[in-house]
Amino acid sequence: MLKEVRYKNWKSFADATLYIDPLTILIGTNASGKSNALDGLAFLNRVVQGKDLQTILSGDPALLLEANIQAIRGGVEWASRRPFTSFTLEAVIEYNEEIDYHYSIEVSATSDVEIVSESLIKVNRKTSKTTNIFTATGEEGSPSIEAAVYNGKGRPKHKQLKRSSSLISQLKTQETREEVDEAIQFVVNTLERIFILDPAPSLMRDYKPFSNRLASNASNVAGVLAALPEEEKSHIESLLSKYVSRLPEGDLQRVWAEPVGRFQKDAMLYCEEQWPGSSEKLIVDARGMSDGTLRFIGILTALLTRPKRSLIVIEEIDNGLHPSRAGILLEMLNEIGTERQIDILMTTHNPALLDELGMEMIPFIIVAHRSVKHGASELTLLEDIQALPKLLAGGSIGKLVTEGEIEETLTQQGSGKR
């Protein structure tokens, strides 16, 4: 699983680390760096798939339409923190109880977007022994880069690779030693399982073709559910119904997708409503569902259909959800995440949701904020704030966020004031 990501001169970050747990909550004011941190995860996800670096940052309309992805916000111009012209992203990935893989990629974000350096290192946490899997550093102006691929014996093999896409994505298709192949494939698979989810209810209301992969905006929920094998479809729809029925005052009884049209290759999302005290059942399609309900269904579908050991990233997870349902949302995240071994990273401003977390979740809350000294974004674990006990004595986490007490304390802590 992905354990941490380090940002060096990435967007608004100078040098910061995002720690990832089974459930991680990222909070912070507007322009604090939350979205920039998530953009870094999106970059890592796409770069190991072999996508062109220029396309990842600035986009290609034809490719983006086909893949249903957006260019990284700010494009090439804002990828590196000013006045720097390159950035580095590092990922620590847990292989087992002893072994971690450390992956690093440095990219020049100028008129020519290209690899500056890239490496993959195996680290034994118990012995602190490190083993190079591959390393590479390019010369300025050179169209190619030489990667040293280590086999554990004698001199490494040198391979000439292009600089316009990640080296790890190129090496995964080349025949190397078994240990090298295994390490590269494991890291690639882990980063490919990062899923950035931003449900768009307005796009979920139409008929959708069958699909075997959920779109990042959840627009094709109906197509994904309808395409599932019958037994799996029945199981997932029963779980959807179980959780969605808790949202309103007991009116939603069932959620499902159904093939439509002459060729039965398109689908529509439906729900069944029945209010307490009434025997009448009403079938409503996605066009009549609320934005909050559709977002909830999109999140649930991602949790239930993404591969195990995925990381699902959801910005403003509670958007459109009534504060009184915050507890249901957290219960759902914990239950499904634990059962399916899925990690969840979410951002939120919702005081009701933060209060529902409870004191036991404090170690998993991260605060994005700006350094008072140089203005760069920083990521601070809530439990590392020196004055946290005093703050909590004055109110709940939701209250502290609403009143700006956490950010004010971090400002004072950064300036040396107490």
For residues 181 and 231, membership in a common domain is answered with no
Cβ distance 244 to 284 under 8 Å?
no
Phi, psi of 408 (to 5 degrees): -65, -40
Domain count for the chain: 2
For residues 122 and 169, membership in a common domain is answered with yes
Q: 127: domain range?
A: 2-193+344-415
For residues 144 and 222, membership in a common domain is answered with no
63 lies in a domain?
Answer: yes
286 lies in a domain?
Answer: yes
Residues in CB range of 97: below 8 A, 6 or more apart: none
Spatial distance between the Cα atoms of 117 and 138, rounded to a whole number of angstroms: 6
Q: Which of 306, 328, 354 is the last residue of a domain?
A: 306
Spatial distance between the Cα atoms of 120 and 130, rounded to a whole number of angstroms: 10
Would you state the torsion angle of the CA atoms of residues 173, 178, 179, 181, taken in this order, to the nearest 10 degrees?
10
For residues 289 and 353, membership in a common domain is answered with no
For residues 136 and 281, membership in a common domain is answered with no
Phi, psi of 272 (to 5 degrees): -115, 125
For residues 143 and 211, membership in a common domain is answered with no
For residues 181 and 232, membership in a common domain is answered with no
pLDDT tens for the 418 residues of the chain, in order: 999 999 999 999 999 999 999 999 999 998 999 999 999 999 999 999 999 999 999 876 555 444 445 789 889 999 999 999 999 999 999 999 999 999 999 999 988 899 999 999 999 999 999 999 999 998 877 889 999 999 777 688 999 999 999 999 999 988 777 889 999 999 999 999 999 999 999 999 999 999 999 999 999 999 999 999 999 999 999 999 998 888 765 578 899 999 998 888 999 999 998 776 677 888 999 999 989 889 999 999 999 999 999 999 998 888 877 778 888 889 889 999 999 999 999 999 889 899 988 888 999 999 999 998 889 999 999 999 989 999 999 888 999 988 889 988 998 876 555 4
Q: Which of 283, 306, 329 is the last residue of a domain?
A: 306
For residues 293 and 348, membership in a common domain is answered with no
Beta bridge partner(s), residue 132: 121
Return the HEC string of 340-387.
Answer: HCCEEEEECCCHHHHHHHCHHHHHHEEEEEECCCCCCEEEEEHHHCCC
Q: In terms of DSSP H, where are the helices of 75-173?
A: 167-171
CA 281 from centroid of its chain's CA atoms: 38
For residues 154 and 186, membership in a common domain is answered with yes
For residues 59 and 183, membership in a common domain is answered with yes
Spatial distance between the Cα atoms of 283 and 273, rounded to a whole number of angstroms: 6
Spatial distance between the Cα atoms of 207 and 269, rounded to a whole number of angstroms: 8
Q: Between vectors from CA 131 to CA 128 and to CA 135, what angle results, nearest 5°? A: 130
311 lies in a domain?
Answer: no
Tokens coding 373: 């000294």
313 lies in a domain?
Answer: no
179 lies in a domain?
Answer: yes
For residues 19 and 101, membership in a common domain is answered with yes
For residues 7 and 95, membership in a common domain is answered with yes
10 lies in a domain?
Answer: yes
316 lies in a domain?
Answer: no
292 lies in a domain?
Answer: yes
Q: Which of 276, 306, 336 is the last residue of a domain?
A: 306
Helix or strand or coil: residue 16? Answer: strand
Q: What is this structure's pTM?
A: 0.92
